[in-house]
Amino acid sequence: MNARALRRLAAPLSILAVFALAAAAPAQAKKPRASFKAMSHDFGKVKQGDVVSHEFTFRNEGDAPLVVEKIETTCGCTAALVSEKRIAPGQDGKIKTTFDTRGYSGRLTRYLYLVSNDAASPRRELSVSADIEVPPSARIDIDRYNLDMGLVLEGESPAAKIVVKSAGERELRVEVAHENVKFFSGGKPLASAFSLPVGESREIEIRFPPQARPGVQRDYILVKSNDPVRTTLSIYVSRYVITRKELQELFDKYQKVLKDKD
């Protein structure tokens, strides 16, 4: 084949190649793309304990369906897709996020992530912020949350003490509860509910009834209060109830050891 024939053949081939590339180009360009109206939201000043919500709106500005795989969040914030998981080109999607400010204070930012098949941004970061104001409130402090009474002789009534303090800016209202326990303060029976002025403390004696069941015993004393952050606290109480026979056996076993040390 001479050069003139090759040139004649090359022209049609070039035209075919152009048409082939033009036909292939749209197929390659079809991709989803998530575009948000806004990627952050500031709730401004909110009171501690408020639960605030916001909806992020986004549009699929690509030319292929956008598929949302999941919504991820950081601590203290929840979020959910409130539209279809598969969003056609030109259609909108919505993510609703809710922020519970209970237990938080000051300036705070939380993040959430849209995970999708958007190849350019498969994990899109969004954020919500708030200035959380803490109003004057009651706050409870307890000196200990675990009480180990050790060995308790069968038939005895074990007792232990805790100290409750009003550590906030408002009067603390406290209620202690357990169906088998009696509470005392200063040697006198204590009403299950009482109040503590700001900065004051009260020692509470916890008295159990005579112990009849040998072995390990465990209880939880509930302490409820008007502390908005810690409304209910648990005090774990443990003891080992030993029979008189077991006590005598222990005494006999270790009596000689004690004498030898002396």
Per-residue pLDDT at 11: 53
Instruction: Report the SS3 class of residue 135.
Output: coil
Query: Mean pLDDT throughout 108-135?
Result: 94
Strands 123-133 and 92-100: unpaired
Per-residue pLDDT at 126: 95
| pLDDT, mean over the chain | 88
Query: Please, which pLDDT band fits residue 2 given cuts at 50, 70 and 90?
Result: low
Per-residue pLDDT at 118: 95
| Model confidence at 18: pLDDT above 50 | no
**Domain map (residue ranges) of the chain:** 34-133, 140-242
Which residue has better confidence, 16 or 163? 163
Question: Which of 33-42, 185-194, 197-206 has the lowest average pLDDT?
Answer: 185-194
Q: Could you write out the DSSP letters of every residue in 58-83?
A: EEE-SSS-EEEEEEEE-TTEEEEE-S
Condensed to tens digits (0 to 9), the pLDDT of residues 170-196 reads: 999 999 989 889 999 999 999 879 999
Give the CATH class of 34-133: mainly beta
| Model confidence at 140: pLDDT above 80 | yes
Query: Please, which pLDDT band fits residue 105 given cuts at 50, 70 and 90?
Result: confident
| Model confidence at 5: pLDDT above 60 | no
Q: Tell me if domain 34-133 and domain 140-242 are identical in fold.
A: yes
What's the CA gap between 195 and 192, in Å, rounded? 10
What's the CA gap between 194 and 1, in Å, rounded? 109
| Model confidence at 20: pLDDT above 60 | no
In sequence order, which residues have a C-beta less than 8 Å from that of residue 145 and are 6 or more positions away? 233, 234, 235, 236
What's the CA gap between 158 and 152, in Å, rounded? 7
Condensed to tens digits (0 to 9), the pLDDT of residues 211-226 reads: 999 999 999 999 999 9
Per-residue pLDDT at 134: 84
Q: Which of 2.60.40.10, 2.130.10.10, 1.10.1050.10, 2.60.120.10 would CATH assign to domain 140-242? A: 2.60.40.10
Q: What are phi and psi of 62, to 5 degrees?
A: -90, -170
State the residue for tokens 């958007």. Answer: 118
Radius of gyration (C-alpha) of the chain in whole angstroms: 35
| Model confidence at 125: pLDDT above 60 | yes
